[in-house]
Amino acid sequence: MDLLLVFYQHEERTLLSCGWVNGITHVGQRFIGGAKDFWTALCKYAIEIGFEFVYVKNEKCRVTSVCSMREFKACLWRVHASLESTNNFFYIRTLHNEHTCGATVRTSKNSRMSSNLVASLIVNEVRGNPQTHPIDVMRFTDQYGLTITYNHAWLEVEKARTTTFGDFSMSYNEIRWYMDIVMSTNPGSYLSLDYNHQSGRFKRFVVVFNASIQGFRHCRPLLFIDGTFLKGKYKGTFLTATANDGNQGVFSLAMAIVDTETTNS
């Protein structure tokens, strides 16, 4: 590695993951979130230091991990942590934090880079920008010195979206809840949900707020209808009916989400 720099000079880059080396430090170190926090810290630590580990014990109340080179190279690296029942924190009980295997090289691909880990890294990105694309995720994980494939990145985005906005399929369930809320807060509105009664499959959903109905009475009696494709997991089309308020202004009357843009819809 020392010689390499002579032949291959590159700009030193500080990775966002550099703090992960402090994930596992000493006996008595505590993890407030229990086993889950410990797992996350351990995975990040292994990625940053550059080694692979295996679980000897992996339970909700105790976790023991050893270096994956334990048998092959008799590496003694080992950590054991367990739950303190009085406060539900996880504590490191024993730690042998030295690799005698010589196999610690940080790579951009570590088997501990699970999709949950990456999803937890990008969840804030997705929250700030719902239109996050897999390619953004690949750029983002690169800042952590991690390489993931496009397919993986796509899955990460879906996972992070689910964490932030709830599950796509579950959100269809909430349409009825939404209808009730609209009818109680905006009496006189028109809402209609249509679905296949045998399969339960969503067909269309129409929303016309009472304010729009009232306002339309003062518009020219003309409707302009247009639609656009939805890019979510289940696609569909968003339709809208607008009117002209007689003052060159566009007045929104109704909107609908339909499965496909057909004469019926």
Q: Which stretch binds Zn ion (CB under 5 A): 21-29, 33-41, 76-84, 153-161?
A: 76-84
Q: Which stretch binds Zn ion (CB under 5 A): 94-102, 139-147, 153-161, 175-183?
A: 94-102
Q: Which is nearer to Zn ion, 75 or 92 (CB)?
A: 75
Please identify which residue in 81, 92, 101, 239 interacts with Zn ion, judged by CB under 5 A.
101
* Dist CA 63 CA 57 (whole Å): 5
Q: Which stretch binds Zn ion (CB under 5 A): 73-81, 112-120, 237-245, 248-256?
A: 73-81
CB of 72 to Zn ion, least distance (A): 10
Task: Calculate the CA 201 to chain-centre distance.
Answer: 26
Q: Is 45 in the site for Zn ion (CB under 5 A)?
A: no
Task: Calculate the CA 71 to chain-centre distance.
Answer: 37
Tokens (6 digits) for 255 = 């909107």
Please identify which residue in 78, 93, 99, 106 interacts with Zn ion, judged by CB under 5 A.
99
Q: Which is nearer to Zn ion, 67 or 258 (CB)?
A: 67
Q: How far is CA 10 from CA 5, 6, 13, 17, 37, in A?
A: 8, 10, 9, 19, 35
Which of 119, 92, 118 lies closest to 31 in space, CA to CA? 92
Q: Is 77 in the site for Zn ion (CB under 5 A)?
A: yes
CB of 56 to Zn ion, least distance (A): 14
Q: Is 69 in the site for Zn ion (CB under 5 A)?
A: yes
Q: Which is nearer to Zn ion, 78 or 203 (CB)?
A: 78
Q: Which is nearer to Zn ion, 50 or 246 (CB)?
A: 50
Pairing of strands 89-96, 202-208: unpaired
Tokens (6 digits) for 1 = 């590695």
Q: List CB contacts of 154: < 8 A, sequence separation 6 or more.
A: 134
Which of 134, 123, 207 lies closest to 165 in space, CA to CA? 123
Q: Which is nearer to Zn ion, 77 or 205 (CB)?
A: 77
Q: List CB contacts of 232: < 8 A, sequence separation 6 or more.
A: 168
CB of 98 to Zn ion, least distance (A): 8
Q: Which helix (H) or strand (E) holds 114?
A: none
CB of 101 to Zn ion, least distance (A): 3
Binding site for Zn ion (CB under 5 A): 67, 69, 75, 77, 99, 101
